Structure 1
């Protein structure tokens, strides 16, 4: 992999990880269209670290707040407080619901990962999945405006959004699009839906990265590619930050369905020409 190829794939990963158009589909298509060789597991680790950095950069204050709330949980538990009383604070409730959503995503991911991996180089399947992503985004935008804030997210909400996130294992299904759509379906307001989606992405991306790191440690990596890896990391992080900031501002205008047209357009192109 050359430095230019690493930069291109890093930018694509950073942008499409958060913009609801499916990063997995765009990575596969970028490699296919530009003739970029399969980067390998080490490069996947690198760009995932870059996108993880993006979320930490944008939501750092929220993450610190949640960590402080989490540190107070053991003290609350020693006072024999009930589960419902522990959820009275918005931050505490958000922690519980992020944990629950992550457990659902992880469980489904572990059970069906091997099945979904088979479709990663099936362009027809990717094209159909992009059409499905477009449909999900279109339907979610047509729902009545939600009202739930972070303190009102419930167990069923977390389970459903966590399940929606797991759908993104299939190449062509957008993780951010699925989770935001699931949150809107459960009547969260737009701001809460976006924040919950991005915060839920942290354990998902981190978990996937740790599994990939384990594989890298077992198989080793090519030290001669250190410079392309570095450029891939930097550009995935920068493009990820830009994507998150732009998407948050864009969704405040209530235009999630605009991404439907893009997904349908790309999906049709894939089905017709690839």
Structure 2
């Protein structure tokens, strides 16, 4: 398929995978890399398309959490007004404000790790054994997270150490095969967040993470000699990605609350073993 136009079939399949795997704890980067390998699609050819798929998944989060996002935007201006008038941050009195600051704080280690190690992790996208190991690690995180005790913290009891720890795990998830959503949800559970809040926080901090990933990829995408990226397949892929993302978010809320993450652990373990064995056999 080298040098060919990206077809509707390829665009829709990649859109489905991105939309589902971005929010299900199975690693969208790993799945996309694996599909590109089997389809014979050059990564440079679909780099701009991949950037646009990130936009599609961002739409999913905005649709599902628009009330939270709007409340956070309003709280930002109220916080600025409080700072100007000398009232301070008042995070104990304003839980939405504290949530916004936690999102920013969690994004700090993710951003630092992304800037420092992005090139290294990007180089692993073409190495199936590395992706397979990433899936095995993801499976272990998901499986053992179900063994944790009660989760009792809401935003009122969450502290900045919790937010930083979750942000570090999100940074590690730059590695293909390690799920971003899985890492942040597990991080929330490890720090004692309530299960429904752990999901909510994981998806809200995905906004700067997904946007940042797209921004980092834009320069390379502009330089890449992408061939025949037509508007039709592009729109189809983005729309499918957004719709599948919404479905995945709804599913994950129920999965985490019902303690069923272990089923995804079995899936990524199987996929990890298959990928490593396939890489060894075909090397």
Q: TM-score range by the shorter chain?
A: over 0.9
Q: TM-score, normalised by structure 1?
A: 0.94
Of 179, 184, 189, the match for 1:184: 189
Between the aligned partners of 2:31 and 2:152, the Cα distance in structure 1 is 33
- What are the superposed Cα offsets for residues 29-72 of structure 1, whole Å, 9 maximum, x if unpaired? 11222334434321011100100001101111111111111110
| Structure 1: runs of 5 or more not aligned | none
Q: CA deviation at 1:211?
A: 2.8
| Structure 2: runs of 5 or more not aligned | 1-5
Q: CA deviation at 1:200?
A: 0.2
Q: Which residue of 2 aligns with 1:165?
A: 170
- What are the superposed Cα offsets for residues 158-193 of structure 1, whole Å, 9 maximum, x if unpaired? 110000001111000000000000111100010110
Q: Which residue of 1 aligns with 2:62?
A: 56
Report the secondary structure of 2:55's partner residue: helix
Between the aligned partners of 2:264 and 2:221, the Cα distance in structure 1 is 35
Q: Which residue of 2 aligns with 1:66?
A: 72
Of 180, 193, 198, the match for 1:193: 198
Q: TM-score, normalised by structure 2?
A: 0.91
Between the aligned partners of 2:245 and 2:32, the Cα distance in structure 1 is 14
Of 16, 20, 27, the match for 1:15: 20
Between the aligned partners of 2:205 and 2:254, the Cα distance in structure 1 is 19
Q: Which residue of 2 aligns with 1:273?
A: 278
Change (3 A) 1:208 1:48: same
* Alpha-carbon contact 1:184-1:193 (below 8 Å) kept: yes
Write out the 4+ residue segments of structure 1 that deviate beyond 6 Å after TM superposition: none
Between the aligned partners of 1:27 and 1:223, the Cα distance in structure 2 is 19
Q: CA deviation at 1:251?
A: 1.8
